[in-house]
Structure 1
Amino acid sequence: MKNSFLLLFTILSLVLSCGNSRTNKIVNNQTLNDERITDTQSELIFEHSKVFPDNTQLAFALIENSNVKFYGVEKRNDTIFTIKNQQNAFEIGSITKVFNATLLADFVLENKVQLDDSINPYYDFEFNNGQDITFKALANHTSGLPRMPSNLDFDISDQDPFSDYDAEKLKYYLVNEMELSFNEDGTYEYSNLGAGLLGHTLSKIGKKTLNQLLQERIFLKYNMPNSTIGSENVSTFLVEGQSAEGKPVKNWNLASLSGAGDIISTTEDLSKFVTAHFDDKNRALALTRIKTHTINDRSSVGLGWHIRTEPSGEKWIWHNGGTGGYTSCLVMNTKNKNGVIVLSNVSALGDPMIHIDQLCFGLMDTL
C-alpha cells in the first residue's frame, strides 16, 4: 500500500523551482532542463518505465543534429529517479550484429573478401550436403539458417544458455545438421546462428578473436574505451542484469556464436559510433547502411542494420537487442543526424521488454 501511494504521488507531482534565469522542473523525480530532456520525453520515459521492477536502470542518448544529450533513470521503491549513467555498461545483445557487419565492411574495402563470396573455403571441412553460404547472406539474414542451431538446447531457465556452445559444437552442426530453408533468391529469416557464424568466420580470416578485431578496428577507432566482449573485461561500472521479476542474473557468454550478441557497451560509447555514421566519407559505415534485401514496403535490411521507412519518407536505421538480463534499442536518421540509444537491465525474456523498443521509437519521434 505504501509503494502504491508513492507511485501515485509521483505520477501526480509536478514541482517547479527557479534559479537564476533557468527554470528546472522535476517530473516524476526526473530533473528537466535545457541540457536534459523535454516534458514530453520525460512523460514517455515514465509511462514506459513504470512497469519495470525495482532496481531497473535505463541509460539514454538523445542525438539531435549531431548534438548528444545523455540521460538516465533508475527505479527504486516504485519511484523513478534521474541518475547519471552514460558511462555505465550494459549488455547490448543483438546490436552486436551491426558491429559484426562493420567488420565485414572493413574486410570488403580491404579486398580480403567480397560480399558474394562463399564462407565455405575458410573451413577445412564440408558443410552438410555441400550447402553454400555467402558473407552477405549471413549479414542480412537471407542465408536460410534457422534462428538457433538444432544442437543448441536453448533453455530460458538456464541463466547462461550459450556458454558451452563451443567451436566443436558449431562444427558438428555445420557438418551434420545444417539445413537451409530458402528459395533461390533468398528470403529474410532472422538468424542468431547466421550472425554468430559470420563473426566466427571473420575471426578465422583475421586470425584473431572477435573481441580483438572489434577493439582494433572499431572500438579504438571510434574512441569507445568502455566497449568489449566478456564481463571480465569491462573497465567501468557494469549494471547488474535482472530477470523479468527483478532477480539478479548472470551475464551471457555466447561462446562460438559471440557475433550474435556478446558486446557490452555504454550510451557514451555507442553515441560516438552513431555520430560516426553521420560522416558521409566513412565508406565502411556507409556500406553497412546500403539496402541489400527488401522485406516489405516499409522494411529492408542492409548489412546488420534494419531500415525502416517512416510515413514521412524518412529512413530510420535501427537494431535492437536482448539477453537474459538486458534489453536495448538503437535508431538513427543519418540524413537529419538524429538518433536515440536506450540501454537497460530489463530482461528480454519477459513481457516488459517490448517497452524498450516502443520507448526508443517514441523518443525518436520527439527529435
Structure 2
Amino acid sequence: MTAETHGDRQLAVRLGELLGPRHPVAAAAVVTPEGTHVASRGTDADADADFDFEIGSVSKAVTGLLYADALTRGEITTDTRLGELLPLGDAPVARVTLRALSTHRSGLPRLPKSAQPWRRTITLWRNGTNPYGETLAQLLLQTRDVPLGTPRSRYSNLGYELLGHALARAATTTYSELVQQRIATPLELDCFYVPVTADELRPTALHGRSRRGRPRQPWTGEGLGPAGGIRASITSMARFTAAILDGSAPGTAALDPVAPVGGGARIGAAWITVQVKGRPITWHNGGTGGFRSWLGLDRNTGTGAVLLSATAASVDRQGFALLAEHSLSTGNSDSNSNSNSNSNSNSNSNRR
C-alpha cells in the first residue's frame, strides 16, 4: 500500500524515492532562492494538519544560534564560564567556558556516568522508554561529579545541555522560553517548541518508531532540551531554514566554522561544515529513539534541505542527496545528486 502524500507533488515523489518503505512517515523541505517546497507522506488523511517530529540533535544547531545571538547581545562572552551562570559550586565543570562547549571541546563526556547511560540504552532497546527525563536540577546534580578530560574535539550531549541552560540563565528565562522568544516567535514558526513533559506535546505530535517499527516513547525532559528536545513541523523547519539562509534568523554567525573536528570537517557553534564535491555544506543531523532528522545548507547558492522521519533509521545520505540535487541546479552545475559526506555524524544508537 502506497503512503498518502501531501504538499508539493514532485517533492513528495522524490521523498518516497529517497526514503522508500523503511520510512513510512516522513517529510521534506527544499528552500531555494526561487521559493520553498514542502511535502510529507504517511502522516494523516488531513492535509491541513502540520504534524511535528522530534528533531533530536538538530536542537544543538538551534542552541548554537542562541549562543551566537547571546554574544551579539552582550549577555555572555566566549570566555564566560559555566559556574558564572549555573549553580555548580566548585565542581570541575564550573571552569568550562561557553566557547569550549559550543565547539565540543570542553573535555566533557557524552553523558555523565551517574546517569547510567548504558542501562538506559538497554531499557530503550527493550521497552522503548524515554532515557532522558531529567529536570535541570537533576542534570546539575549529575554534572557536579563529572571529571574533565583533555579539551579536544569530543561530541558531548551533556556539554550542549549545559550550554543551553546557561544561555537561558544569562537571559533570565528557561531554555524552552528562550527558544520561543528568540527563534519561534520572531520567525513565525507555528510549530517549533520544547516540551518538558509528555503532557506538553501538541495534538499534532507524531509517535516515533524504532528501525523495526516498534513504538517509542517521546523524548521529553527539561535537561534534554538544548541538546535534543525540540519538536517541529516540516513547515516550521522550512521557514527556519529560509531564515538562516536569508540572515533573518538570530545568531547565524554560529554557522561559520572556527575549529577542526576531524575528517576534514570544521565546526562553528554546533554546525558542521564539510566539503562535498568541492562545495562547502553546512549541516547537522539528529536522532532519538523513534525519529531521525537532517538539515543541510549550501550557503553559496542559498539552498537548504530538511528531512524528518518518524522512524529511527538514518536519513543523512538521503539528505545530502536531496540538497545536492537542488543546490547543483541552483548553481548551474552538472554534478550528480548522490553526494555523501565525510561527516562527523554522531552515530550512536542512543544519540539525539
Q: Structure 1 234/167 Cα, relative in aligned 2: closer, same or farther at 3 Å?
A: closer
Tell me the secondary structure at the aligned position of residue 316 of structure 1: strand
1:244 paired with 2:211, answer yes
The CA distance in 1 between the partners of 2:30 and 2:249, in whole Å, is 25
Q: Would the alpha carbon gap of residues 212 and 29 (structure 1) be closer, same or farther in structure 2, given more than 3 Å must change?
A: closer
Kept in 2: contact 1:199–1:257 (CA 8 A): no
2:10 is paired with a residue whose SS is: coil
Map of 1:319 onto structure 2: 284
- Is 1:190 matched up with 2:155? yes
**Matching of residues 32-71 of structure 1 within 5 Å:** 36-37=9-10, 42=13, 45-46=16-17, 48-52=19-23, 56-65=24-33, 67-71=35-39
Structure 1 unpaired stretches of 5+: 1-5, 11-27, 76-80, 348-352
Q: Is residue 2:72 matched to residue 1:72?
A: no
- 1:324–1:42: structure 2 CA closer, same or farther, 3 Å change rule? same
Task: Give the Cα separation in 2 of the matches to 1:85 and 1:145.
Answer: 44
CA shift at 1:166, angstroms? 2.8
Q: Does 1:335 align with 2:304?
A: no
What amino acid is aligned across from residue 221 of structure 1 in structure 2? P
- The CA deviation at 1:343 is 0.8
> Structure 1 pair 180/49, CA: closer, same or farther in 2 (3 Å)?
farther
Structure 2: state its 5+ residue gaps: 327-352
Task: Give, in angstroms, the shift of residue 119 of structure 1.
Answer: 1.8
Which residue among 216, 224, 242 is the counterpart of 2:189?
A: 224
1:174 corresponding residue in structure 2:
143
Question: Partner of 1:137 in structure 2?
Answer: 100
TM-score normalized by structure 2?
0.81
**Which residue of the partner structure matches residue 290 of structure 1?**
256
Matches within 5 A, 1:136-175: 136-154=99-117, 155-156=120-121, 157-158=123-124, 159-163=129-133, 165-175=134-144
Distance 1:362 1:118, change over 3 A: same
Task: Tell me how far apart the structure 2 counterparts of residues 304 and 148 of structure 1 sit (CA, whole Å).
Answer: 17
User: Cα gap change, 1:66/1:104 in structure 2, threshold over 3 Å: closer, same or farther?
Assistant: farther
1:14 — aligned with what?
A: none
In 1, distance between residues paired with 2:176 and 2:4?
A: 39
Structure 1 residues 205 and 248: alpha-carbon distance in aligned structure 2, compared to 1, 3 A threshold: same
Give the secondary structure class of the aligned counterpart of 1:248.
coil
State the secondary structure of the residue aligned to 1:277: helix
2:231 paired with 1:264:
yes
Q: Counterpart of 1:244 in structure 2: which amino acid?
A: R
1:17 paired residue number: none
CA distance in 2, matches of 1:47, 1:213: 35
Deviation (angstroms), 1:83: 8.8
Hey, what's the Cα distance between the residues in 1 that align with 2:66 and 2:173? 12
Q: Alpha-carbon deviations, 1:223-266, whole Å to 9, x = none?
A: 00111111544445222212222132211113323211100101
Change (3 A) 1:201 1:45: same
How far residue 48 of structure 1 moved from its aligned partner, in angstroms, is 3.2
* Residue matched to 1:3: none
| Residues matched between the structures, number | 317
CA deviation profile, 1:175-203 (whole Å, cap 9, x unmatched): 2x212222xxx421111000101112122
Which of the residues 324, 328, 331 maps onto 1:365? 324
How big is the alpha-carbon RMSD for the aligned residues of Structure 1 and Structure 2?
2.7
Kindly state the Cα deviation for residue 90 of structure 1 after the two structures are TM-superposed.
0.5
CA-CA distance at 1:43 after TM superposition: 5.8
Q: How many Å apart are 1:122 and its aligned residue?
A: 1.9
- CA-to-aligned-CA distance 1:135-189 (integer Å, 9 cap, x gap): 11111111111111111123232411111x23343333332x212222xxx4211
Counterpart contact for 2:88–2:94, Cα < 8 Å = no
* Counterpart-to-counterpart distance in 2, 1:283 and 1:218: 7
SS in 1 for 2:224: helix
1:275 aligns with 2:242: yes
* Correspondence for 1:346: 311
* AA aligned opposite 1:68: T
1:44 and 1:362 in contact (8 A); partners too: no
Distance 1:85 1:330 in 2: 23
Cα 1:86/1:293, change in 2 over 3 Å: farther
Identity of aligned residues (%): 23
SS at match of 1:208: coil
Q: Partner letter of residue 10 of structure 2?
A: I
2:212 alignment partner AA: E
Contact 1:48–1:359 (8 Å) recurs in 2: yes
Q: Distance in 1 between matches of 2:182 and 2:4?
A: 41
The CA distance in 1 between the partners of 2:114 and 2:39, in whole Å, is 42
Mapped to 1, the partners of 2:249 and 2:288 lie a distance apart of 31
1:208 is aligned, of 173, 178, 194, to 173
> What's 1:115 paired with?
78
Task: Tell me the distance in 2 between the aligned counterparts of 1:130 and 1:60.
Answer: 39
Distance 1:31 1:283 in 2: 27
Q: TM-score, normalised by structure 1?
A: 0.78
